[in-house]
Structure 1
Amino acid sequence: MNIERVELKRLHIPFKASFEASFGRMSKRDLVLVSVYSSDGKVGYGESTSMAFPWYNEETTDTVWYMLEQFLIPKLLTAEITSPEEVAELFAPIRRNNMAKAALEGAVWDLYCKQKNISLAKGLGGEKEKIDVGVSIGIEPTVDLLLEKVEGFIQEGYKKIKIKVKPGFDVEPMREIRKQFGYDVPLMADANSAYTLHDLATLKELDQFNLIMIEQPLAHDDIIDHAKLQKELQTPICLDESIHSVEDARKAIELGSCKIINIKVGRVGGLTESKRIHDLCKAKNIPVWCGGMFETGVGRAHNIAITSLSNFTIPGDTSASNRYWIEDIVEPEVALIEPGMLAVPTGAGIGYEIKEDSVKKFLVHQKSYSKKTTESVG
């Protein structure tokens, strides 16, 4: 593929409104935008999905930058690769740091598809022309405020409503949503590892609300207790934080730890591993969906592409750009083509252009790495 240069840009993008999950509240997105340049003048783009703090997983924006600069970029610039799948193998000896790996591998996938003049979705084997999407709602100060947001997103036609829950903010919000909007609304709960088996009685209460799933109720690294919990619940358990690879998915499925898996591209180390997990789950009749990490349009484009694969049968979290941002860094912005649906881009690569003026507005730091400098350092 003849990759000549890699550029990193750290961006701070303010949310339209702060967002709270069980692990904390956020007011801005802190990310690394990765650009990969080839000798033919084409550029591929990727985006880190880490946060500024190690609350979702062990990675942060600082660790992502460090891993990219010290290990991943030098490996890429000194290797001869012919396809993006080889990047996953190239990075395999480096333990974890999946979000750093995914940011760079995603940029290579975009570049590869642009060189082949095909869409990223087609490059991954996707067949859908449009995808169903849902929305994620954070923990609100009051149930009344939560109900207002739920009503707005129902009116916008989102195909799944995900509610963040934690002990003390779980049964009552679900009861009030069902009371006000009925049982036809596709509803799920996301716990972000806020519970233990000692909370079994509370979790069993959620069965009455006919939820699509309860996402990651127990520890972030657990698949044993989730198997015990799933036997006690009628509601399907979906695993998120516990799944970092196709091997994790295989073990969880064999143990009966879940009935659904959320595939987040950053969490599992990139698009190649995401596709492997998708293929395994399809063979095992486990439906999957694509979770969101507050991505800009770059990351959303990657999510849309992977969601075009056939076993992504549950609406994901890839909502429109205006859900979180006053201003996105791509054009056109990611927008619904009809209620609750996004088009799968057909243009080369991710199918969106970078808005350089917006990138400059949110830029905190940038650095460029070339084959020449890498060779001189190495």
Structure 2
Amino acid sequence: MPRIQGCDAFRVAMPRGRRAESILVRLADGDGATGWGELSLPDERGGRRGRDGGAAGTGPWADIEHRMGPALIGLEWDRPEDVSGAADLGAHEAAAAIDTACWDLWCRTRGLPLAHALGGTRTSIVTGARISPAQVLETLPTRVNKAIGAGHTRVTVDVRPGWDIEPIRVIRQAYPALALVADAGHAYRDTPEHLEVLEGLDAYGLAAVERPFPADDLAAHAKLQLRIGAAVAPDVGDLDALGAALRLEAGRALHLRPDRFGGLTAARSAHDLAYAAGWDVWCSGAGGFGIGQAAAVALAALPGCTLPSDVSDPAQGPVYVTPPVRSSGGVVGVPLTQPGLGHEVDEARIERLASRRMRLSA
């Protein structure tokens, strides 16, 4: 059986402009093969956090350095699923980075593209985009037009009480055929007033209403789904929550993010459950360094991912993986001629950008 011989972690931030931060994980076997994973750290502007992305002395860095990493060193494994015990030692976000790195390493040692190893059947992914949340009606059509001009065929726009019917009406009036998702960010409640607004949104031919209610109020999601034609997409972050949503018929669409489910292994299982139930699925990646997006591309190649996915990096942004994960005419190719993620990480640049490093070895 192969063994994991090394685990490195790097905390990195964009060198200029938007200071997106990620923790990158690199796993190595005894023959020199490596696999990469990425987790995106939350925006620090919302409040103080510790150096590892959580409260001081906690968070994903501590999960990787003190719990998951040591459990991986010397571990014998035949398949990435065998590493799930180590991934269970920390939060979903850290587990996702470890799990993705395991899949990448395993595929590279066997010469398999990650998309094929997961069961993907697509050679390209149709892309969508999320519009910035600035609540300015006058600029909304221009921002949507920019996304359409880049080839994206689905646009997600944030809605909140008081900012819902009018922005959707403006977009739909300007772009009658555009696939449109309204992301409510848990802002509504199961009240007659809020239900009336959400039902009103349905008149504009939405593809989905995402996260309309608090995640634990699946009954409200089920009630709304009975009243509208658009698919409701509840915010589910694990297989138990998804199973409950399926049983209650609390939606018909799933926004699938590997970091929310704890990695590609659980995300693939979530896809399989949603697909079997007839739900639509779309994927998105997390992080600004290309690795999280590359993993999401592989996941979006699964047959149940029927809606355009958010799986490309900004067209003019810096490049940390080769080839960059970018759409051309609203399409991202699935890398099927190279093993693993299908992208090579610029390790020297990552080393230079790292503000914190960790190395564990057998």
TM over 0.5: yes
For the residue of structure 2 that corresponds to 1:106, the secondary structure is helix
Within a 5 Å distance, the mapping from 1:191-270 to structure 2 comes to: 191-198=184-191, 199-240=194-235, 243-270=236-263
For the residue of structure 1 that corresponds to 2:14, the secondary structure is strand
Distance 1:295 1:161, change over 3 A: same
Alignment partner of 1:355 is 2:352: no
Structure 1, 2-11 or 350-359: larger mean CA deviation: 350-359
1:215 offset after TM fit, Å? 0.5
- Taking only aligned residues, the RMSD between alpha carbons, in angstroms, comes to 2.2
1:326 offset after TM fit, Å? 2.3
For the residue of structure 1 that corresponds to 2:302, the secondary structure is coil
Once the two structures are superposed, residues 42-97 of structure 1 have per-residue CA deviations (whole angstroms, 9 ceiling, x without a partner) of 11000013424698xx99834111111121111111532221011124434x4x71
Q: Which amino acid aligns with 1:343?
A: G
1:231 offset after TM fit, Å? 2.2
CA contact (8 A) 1:328 1:358 kept: no
Of 318, 330, 335 in structure 2, the residue corresponding to residue 340 of structure 1 is: 330
1:13 offset after TM fit, Å? 1.9
CA distance in 2 between counterparts of 1:54 and 1:152 reads 27
Of 149, 163, 172 in structure 2, the residue corresponding to residue 155 of structure 1 is: 149
Q: Tell me the matched-pair count.
A: 351
- In structure 2, stretches of 5+ residues that fail to align are none
1:118 offset after TM fit, Å? 1.0
Aligned-residue sequence identity (percent) comes to 29
Of 57, 76, 79 in structure 1, the residue corresponding to residue 75 of structure 2 is: 79
Once the two structures are superposed, residues 221-244 of structure 1 have per-residue CA deviations (whole angstroms, 9 ceiling, x without a partner) of 33222122222323211123xx22
For the residue of structure 2 that corresponds to 1:172, the secondary structure is helix
CA distance in 2 between counterparts of 1:250 and 1:90 reads 24
CA contact (8 A) 2:159 2:184 kept: yes
1:287 offset after TM fit, Å? 1.8
Task: Report the counterpart of residue 53 of structure 2 in structure 1.
Answer: 61
1:14 offset after TM fit, Å? 6.4
CA distance in 2 between counterparts of 1:343 and 1:326 reads 18
Task: Report the counterpart of residue 4 of structure 2 in structure 1.
Answer: 3
CA distance in 1 between counterparts of 2:222 and 2:15 reads 39
Task: Report the counterpart of residue 158 of structure 2 in structure 1.
Answer: 164
Moved over 6 A (4+): none
Q: Which amino acid aligns with 2:242?
A: A
Task: Report the counterpart of residue 280 of structure 1 in structure 2.
Answer: 273
CA distance in 1 between counterparts of 2:129 and 2:223 reads 29
Distance 1:73 1:357, change over 3 A: closer
CA contact (8 A) 2:21 2:288 kept: no
CA contact (8 A) 1:85 1:272 kept: yes
Task: Report the counterpart of residue 304 of structure 2 in structure 1.
Answer: 311
CA distance in 1 between counterparts of 2:152 and 2:239 reads 29
CA distance in 1 between counterparts of 2:303 and 2:317 reads 32
CA distance in 2 between counterparts of 1:361 and 1:142 reads 39
Of 31, 37, 40 in structure 2, the residue corresponding to residue 40 of structure 1 is: 31
Structure 1, 123-132 or 72-81: larger mean CA deviation: 72-81
CA distance in 2 between counterparts of 1:53 and 1:187 reads 30
1:292 offset after TM fit, Å? 3.6
Alignment partner of 1:29 is 2:25: no
Once the two structures are superposed, residues 16-57 of structure 1 have per-residue CA deviations (whole angstroms, 9 ceiling, x without a partner) of 6xxxxxxxxxx43221000001111111000013424698xx
1:247 offset after TM fit, Å? 2.4
CA distance in 2 between counterparts of 1:268 and 1:359 reads 26
CA distance in 1 between counterparts of 2:136 and 2:151 reads 23
Q: Which amino acid aligns with 1:13?
A: M
Q: Which amino acid aligns with 1:214?
A: V
Alignment partner of 1:127 is 2:118: no
CA contact (8 A) 1:192 1:220 kept: no
1:290 offset after TM fit, Å? 0.6
For the residue of structure 1 that corresponds to 2:254, the secondary structure is strand
Of 318, 330, 339 in structure 2, the residue corresponding to residue 327 of structure 1 is: 318
For the residue of structure 2 that corresponds to 1:197, the secondary structure is coil
CA distance in 1 between counterparts of 2:269 and 2:335 reads 22
1:276 offset after TM fit, Å? 0.8
CA distance in 2 between counterparts of 1:361 and 1:90 reads 29
Alignment partner of 1:91 is 2:73: no
Distance 1:164 1:2, change over 3 A: same
TM-score normalised by the chain length of structure 2: 0.91
Task: Report the counterpart of residue 375 of structure 1 in structure 2.
Answer: none
CA distance in 2 between counterparts of 1:210 and 1:292 reads 26
Q: Which amino acid aligns with 1:187?
A: L
TM-score normalised by the chain length of structure 1: 0.87
CA distance in 2 between counterparts of 1:211 and 1:12 reads 36
CA contact (8 A) 1:15 1:29 kept: no
Structure 1, 41-50 or 220-229: larger mean CA deviation: 220-229
Q: Which amino acid aligns with 1:42?
A: A
- In structure 1, stretches of 5+ residues that fail to align are 17-26, 372-378
CA distance in 2 between counterparts of 1:155 and 1:171 reads 24
1:15 offset after TM fit, Å? 8.0
For the residue of structure 2 that corresponds to 1:189, the secondary structure is strand
